């Protein structure tokens, strides 16, 4: 058959693509956040590096990620998501595997940069591909199912990696995740398809009657006018501030527990699991909340909550129960921040340019994510405590809320939050 009734093993292949995408993002975020944050306390003494240099390792990843992300989106449109995702998993897996062989700062920077190149194909191409496989009225469902993958990925690492480190070493943690990344090459090559048409299918949830007979006319907009607008820069600066603080906390919270709070390595690693679990709830609740009161107000509230949560972590000192409460509060706000900025691109800019605007806003995200860990590491080396860099993160989160508070209502695109 060549219509949407053609299935494999009784399941529309779109669900197979969604399952493969879920696994891909699960492993990617296990490496991207879980592995780095959890294994960092063990890497620092072994590699003989300080906190500033630890931030440089993270910066290499983000630099490569931001540099190659636009190319991955373009390649996905040109040659299809199946090849792009499968091929870049080679970089993801090999770079991660090599992290287990790192013997110096320079090799760690090089290898984690390779990981960043691979990771550039793990979000935009995956999301783009899945949206091709699901009909217009089913894409929200598909992306909703996909969304917990990243939190489950780095959250589970808080439980698994301490056992691996205790039994073997931190290097084995990287090696095992590297092998998992290489396995993704086979999984995605076998299961992904770039377009439903390749299998004679329609997207799941659509029938031949639901496909429009002609495309809507293209509407031209001035990108220069959009980029020169006040809204763009307010959202961009706020995005930079929040990525700055997000990477400070996620990268160093386990190291803070081990080195400064003097808690056991497994206890400190559980901080990441707490953050991941609460972020799942936060992503769902805060996004629903933002549909009712608007994105601007929701961002102000969420970023203020993030600022408060870091203050709680700092003021708790060695009271681990309060530290966990602060981390849980941080995770809750963290889960809602990123999809809310994506929604802002649609709320405040014409739909015809919303994707391009979001791509440019990624540059602001990248600057914050690169600078944050380096500045935090340097400040920790100078002061001998993480509390000053976490305090700086509190200020950055509050600044993000203040900046976004100056946004007016969207002009000409419906009510705020629509």
Q: What are phi and psi of 8, to 5 degrees?
A: -115, 120
What distance lies between CA 379 and its chain's CA centroid? 25
Locus of tokens 């073997």:
168
pTM score of the predicted model = 0.85
What distance lies between CA 335 and its chain's CA centroid? 10
DSSP result, 214-273: SPPPP----HHHHHTSHHHHHHHHHHHHHHHHHHHHHHHHHHIIIIIS---HHHHHHHHH
d(CA 63, CA 113): 8
pLDDT attached to residue 160 = 95
d(CA 4, CA 230): 45
Taking phi first (over 0 means left), then psi (-120 to 50 degrees means alpha), and beta for anything else, what does residue 370 get? alpha
Locus of tokens 């920077």:
109
Query: One fold for both 7-205 and 223-407?
Result: yes
Architecture of the 223-407 domain: Up-down Bundle (1.20)
What distance lies between CA 367 and its chain's CA centroid? 15
DSSP result, 275-321: HHHHHHHHHHHHHHHHHHH-HHHHHHHHHHHHHHHHHHHHHHTT-HH
Each domain of the chain, given as residue ranges in start order, spans 7-205, 223-407
Radius of gyration of the chain (CA): 21
pLDDT attached to residue 284 = 81
Q: pLDDT below 70 — which residues of the chain? A: 1-9, 140, 207-227, 345-347, 350-356, 358-359, 409-418
What distance lies between CA 235 and its chain's CA centroid? 18
Residue from 183, 252, 254 nearest 391 by CA: 252
d(CA 61, CA 369): 10
DSSP H helices, 7-50, are 13-29, 36-47
Q: Looking at domain 7-205, what is its CATH homologous superfamily?
A: MFS general substrate transporter like domains (1.20.1250.20)
Residue from 94, 347, 402, 78 nearest 231 by CA: 347
pLDDT attached to residue 248 = 95
3-class secondary structure, 134: strand
pLDDT in tens, 240-292: 999 999 999 999 999 999 999 999 999 999 999 999 999 988 888 887 888 78
């Amino acid at each position: 058959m060549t219509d949407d009734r053609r299935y494999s093993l009784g399941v529309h292949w779109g669900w197979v693509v969604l399952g493969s995408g879920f696994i891909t993002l699960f492993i990617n975020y296990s490496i991207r956040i879980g592995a780095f944050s959890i294994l960092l306390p063990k890497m620092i003494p072994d590699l003989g590096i300080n906190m500033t240099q630890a931030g440089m390792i993270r910066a290499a990843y983000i630099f490569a990620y931001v540099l190659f992300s636009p190319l991955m989106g373009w390649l996905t449109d040109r040659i299809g998501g199946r090849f792009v995702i499968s091929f870049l998993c080679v970089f993801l897996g090999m770079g991660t595997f090599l992290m287990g062989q790192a013997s110096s700062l320079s090799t760690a920077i090089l290898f984690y940069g390779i990981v960043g190149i691979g990771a550039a194909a793990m979000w935009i191409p995956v999301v783009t591909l899945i949206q091709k496989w699901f009909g217009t009225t089913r894409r929200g469902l598909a992306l909703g199912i996909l969304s917990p993958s990243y939190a489950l990925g780095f959250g589970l690492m808080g439980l698994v990696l301490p056992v691996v480190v205790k039994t073997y070493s931190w290097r084995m943690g990287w090696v095992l995740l590297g092998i998992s990344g290489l396995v993704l090459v086979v999984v995605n090559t076998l299961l992904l398809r770039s377009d439903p048409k390749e299998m004679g299918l329609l997207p799941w949830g659509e029938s031949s009657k639901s496909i429009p007979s002609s495309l809507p006319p293209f509407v031209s907009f001035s990108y220069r006018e959009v980029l020169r607008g006040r809204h763009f820069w307010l959202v961009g600066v706020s995005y930079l501030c929040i990525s700055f603080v997000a990477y400070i906390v996620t990268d160093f919270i386990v190291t803070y527990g081990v080195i400064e709070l003097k808690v056991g390595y497994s206890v400190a690693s559980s901080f990441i699991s707490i953050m991941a679990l609460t972020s799942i709830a936060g992503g769902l609740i805060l996004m629903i909340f933002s549909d009712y009161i608007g994105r601007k107000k929701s961002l102000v509230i969420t970023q203020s909550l993030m600022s408060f949560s870091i203050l709680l972590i700092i003021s708790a000192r060695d009271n681990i129960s309060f530290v966990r409460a602060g981390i849980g509060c941080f995770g809750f706000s963290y889960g809602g921040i990123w999809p809310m900025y994506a929604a802002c691109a649609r709320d405040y800019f014409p739909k015809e340019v919303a994707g391009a605007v979001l791509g440019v806003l990624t540059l602001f995200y990248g600057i914050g994510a690169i600078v944050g860990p380096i500045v935090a590491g340097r400040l920790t080396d100078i002061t001998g405590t993480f509390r000053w860099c976490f305090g700086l993160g509190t200020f950055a989160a509050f600044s993000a809320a203040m900046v976004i508070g100056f946004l007016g209502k969207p002009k000409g695109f419906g009510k705020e939050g629509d």
